[in-house]
A and B are shown apart, each in its own frame.
Chain A
Amino acid sequence: MKKLFPIFGALTAILLVYALCMALVPGRMSIFGIPLGEGAPTEQTMGDVQRIFYYHVPSAWTAFLLFFINFGASIYYLATRKSAADIVALVCAEVGVVFCTVVLITGPIWARPVWGIWWTWDMRLTSTLVLWLIYVSYLFLRRFSAGGQTPLLAAALAVLGALCVPFVYFSIWFFRTQHPQPVMGGGGSIDPRMMHALLINWLAFSCFAFLVCWSRYRLEKLQRDVDEAHALESLLDPRGSTR
């Protein structure tokens, strides 16, 4: 598994560069005469600023996916108390918060030239901010609570947090909001080249998220081993221990 990491890393890097080209370069692309497909065209009303969409939406989908995995791992932890499930939940929440931060920053950067304002307290934006705050509080709980019950409390919070994810996603269906309507399943239509660029970017971000989660999982496992070793050291030599 360890040997696969650099190979998967290289493939993800290539995919991210390709996805970036698909998002930013309109028209047909080729390298050494090999066709690479057609990049997303420029949107007629918004112009190039619409291309923020190819980073904003895949980041949101990736964050939702990670929060969903966090939910599954938390339920599994509550049922089995397996440490690996707890680590998966923690890692997915942390990386999910990073992606959700990207969503909350790229959204206003798109809104300013298009809406004329950075932020409005409409249902989609507010619920996304609340979702972010829930998972940030989850991470604070993990970081600053030292009790043995922390993973259990965090798992319970994660289950509550996950309930917010469908609410965020469907808020633009159920409420009248300023946020654009969904690109999938909302009755709207999108140019197939734009959809292709969007899906390629989502695939690239999902692979990148998987790689980051993998690294973070290994780090967390190592951290727990070291903490265990420190505890053992304290038991063997309580006066000489520094922790």
Chain B
Amino acid sequence: MKNGYLFAAYAVTWIIHIAYLGTIVTRYSRLKQEIGALKKTGVRS
């Protein structure tokens, strides 16, 4: 059972880090779409 706590702590650590990295990737892909739309309107060359 004590090893369960150890596993939980390590798993939670990586779940938090991966979730945060996920938000960065999501924000980046949304920005890429915005940049694509801006390029179409010709504001950003």
Q: Which residues of A contact B (CB under 8 A)?
A: 20, 47-49, 51-52, 55-56, 59, 95, 98, 101-102, 105-106, 109-110, 112-113, 208, 212, 215-216, 219, 222-223, 225-226, 229-230, 232-233, 236
Q: Which 8 A-B pairs have the closest CB atoms?
A: A52-B9, A109-B9, A106-B9, A233-B43, A49-B2, A229-B44, A98-B20, A229-B43
Please, which residue of chain A has its CB at the minimum distance from the CB of B11?
Answer: A109
Query: Quick check: A55 and B17 within 8 Å, CB to CB?
Result: no
Question: A55-B13, A109-B8, A219-B28 in contact; A230/B38 too (CB < 8 A)?
Answer: yes
Dominant SS among interface residues on chain A: helix
Q: Is A48 in contact with B2, judged by CB distance below 8 angstroms?
A: yes
Q: Is B41 in contact with A233, judged by CB distance below 8 angstroms?
A: yes
Q: Which residue from chain B places its CB closest to the CB of A223 in the assembled complex?
A: B31
- List B contacts of A215 (CB < 8 A): 24
Give complex CA distance A49, B43 in Å: 57
A225 CA / B35 CA spacing, docked (Å) = 10
The count of chain B contact residues (Cβ–Cβ below 8 Å) is 24
Give bound CA distance, A229 to B45, whole Å. 10
Known contacts A101-B16, A208-B17: does B9 contact A229 (CB below 8 Å)? no
Which B residues contact A (CB, under 8 angstroms)?
Answer: 1-3, 5-6, 8-10, 12-13, 16-17, 20-21, 24, 27-28, 31, 34-35, 38, 41, 43-44
For A98, give its contact among B12, B16, B41 (CB under 8 Å). Answer: B16
When chains A and B are docked, how far (Å) is the Cα of A233 from the Cα of B35? 12
Known A55-B10, A226-B34; judge A47-B2 contact (CB<8 A). yes
Q: Is the CB of B5 within 8 A of A112?
A: yes
Given contacts A109-B8, A219-B24, A233-B43, contact A48 B13 (CB under 8 A): no
What is the bound-complex CA distance between A196 and B44, given in angstroms?
A: 51
Provide the bound-state CA to CA distance between A98 and B19, in Å. 10
**In the complex, chain B residues whose CB is within 8 Å of the CB of A109:** 5, 8-9, 12
For A98, what are the chain B residues with a Cβ–Cβ distance below 8 Å?
Answer: 16-17, 20
The contact of A226 among B24, B31, B41, by CB within 8 Å, is B31
CB distance from A140 to the nearest CB of B (A): 16
Which residues of chain A are near B31, meaning CB under 8 Å?
A: 219, 222-223, 226
Inter-subunit contact A106/B44 (CB<8 Å)? no
CB of A106 within 8 A of CB of B3, answer no
